[in-house]
Amino acid sequence: MLIRLCWKNIWRNRVRSGVILTAIALGLTAGTFLVSFMTGWMIDAAITEIANHHSHFQIHHNRFMSNGDINAFLDRDAVSEVLSNSDFADEMLVSYRLNINGLLASAANSSGISLKAVNPEEEIAVSDIWKFIPDTLGGFLSDDVRMPIVISRETAEKLKVRLRSRIVFTFADSEGDMQSLAFRVSGIYNTPSPQLDAGKAFVRYEDIHAATMLPQNAVHEIAISVKDIETSAALFPKLVAMFPDIDVKDWKILTPMMSISLDYMKYAVVIYISIFLFALSFGIINTMLMAVLERSRELGMLGAIGMSKGKIFRMIMLETIFLTTLGSFVGIILGALLLIPAMKSGIDLAPFIGDSFKGYGMSSVVYPVLQLEMIVQIIVLVIVASILSAIYPARKALKLKPLEAIKEI
């Protein structure tokens, strides 16, 4: 009975209720769209950086990450055997790499570089670098070039080289002797993270292994890719347990700033929606307070005929909750309807920002993400805001004295 009465009371003044419902719906629509947009932007940046530069996991010798010691290597066969015998072997794509620090030089200039010696087929499965090589700028370690090397656009500009140019890589082998090898540029890549591109180049494992004087099957880095970020979170403890004596890192450790940014987005929903609801709460309080003052005689009569103060308090609270909850559902639905096309086609910001965020690894095309967790958080925040907004009008209703309220009737 009380619920039916509350629902009818909302629509006694349709204009006033309609205005506040519209305000709540538009606020939640904007809030839902903004949070989904920012979440999608950050997730896309994280996925791109993982796919291009870090992979979900990396395994190294304990000494390698601290100083890049060429002699801090692992045995490929030993690591491969452990990985292949794991219960999640089918979920992983693995690339075994040599990482060699040295000097890359052309006739015009030179640059320090971290050279990754890889098996092209393995690397293509794990990394998306090959996708960022335009057709006009070669391919990823193609067989039609002898001693091929793939470099970034930043490195190509610094060395003033182009496709098929000859460049020399100089490094210290495992015995401390200097070695120099000549390569030809077979591909030039350009990912959304130029700051990470600049210090990295790729060659074939067999083209450089003999010059390193390392044992057969020696590797410095094992890069592992899995289905998605959620899968990596579940597998990371298992990988650590499988290799207790060597260095195992996941993408969160390899790229801490990106991990912090994604964690922040979990709180951004609460922050942004709370700001919207805080502003809207003043309108809700004002609307309900007006409703209480206009119905002072009615509320007095209800008290005079025996309705308890507790029921009157609950009635005002329920009216406010109904009003805000209805507005929030309309707002979320409108926001979702706006997001669905954008989630498929993306939102191109290039006409407005150009490549301003490219240096941060963020694409100008954003694919918003609408998560169930996000919707639940918004609904909970709306209910909390409605309860807090209803307290003052409800307390005002309790202060009405029945005899004074009905004396003019």
Q: Are 104 and 167 in contact (CB under 8 A)?
A: yes
Q: Is the pLDDT of residue 189 over 70?
A: yes
pTM of the model: 0.74
Q: Are 155 and 109 in contact (CB under 8 A)?
A: no
Q: Is the pLDDT of residue 302 over 90?
A: no
Mean residue pLDDT of the chain comes to 83
DSSP codes joined into one string, 274-327: HHHHHHHHHHHHHHHHHHHHHTHHHHHHHHHTT--HHHHHHHHHHHHHHHHHHH
**C-alpha span between 119 and 130 (Å, rounded):** 13
pLDDT digits (tens, 9 = 90+) for 251-286: 988 888 777 877 777 777 778 778 877 877 887 787
| Fold that domain 92-221 belongs to in CATH | Cathepsin D, subunit A; domain 1 (2.40.70)
**C-alpha span between 285 and 281 (Å, rounded):** 6
pLDDT band at 168 (very low <50, low <70, confident <90, very high): very high
Percentage of the chain lying above the pLDDT 90 cut: 35
Domain boundaries, the chain: 2-49+259-406, 92-221
34-48, 279-293, 350-364, 388-402: the lowest-pLDDT one: 350-364
* Six token digits for residue 338: 């706006």
- What confidence score (pLDDT) does residue 198 get? 81
Residue with tokens 């992983």: 92
Q: Is the pLDDT of residue 104 over 90?
A: yes
- What confidence score (pLDDT) does residue 160 get? 94
Q: Is the pLDDT of residue 131 over 60?
A: yes
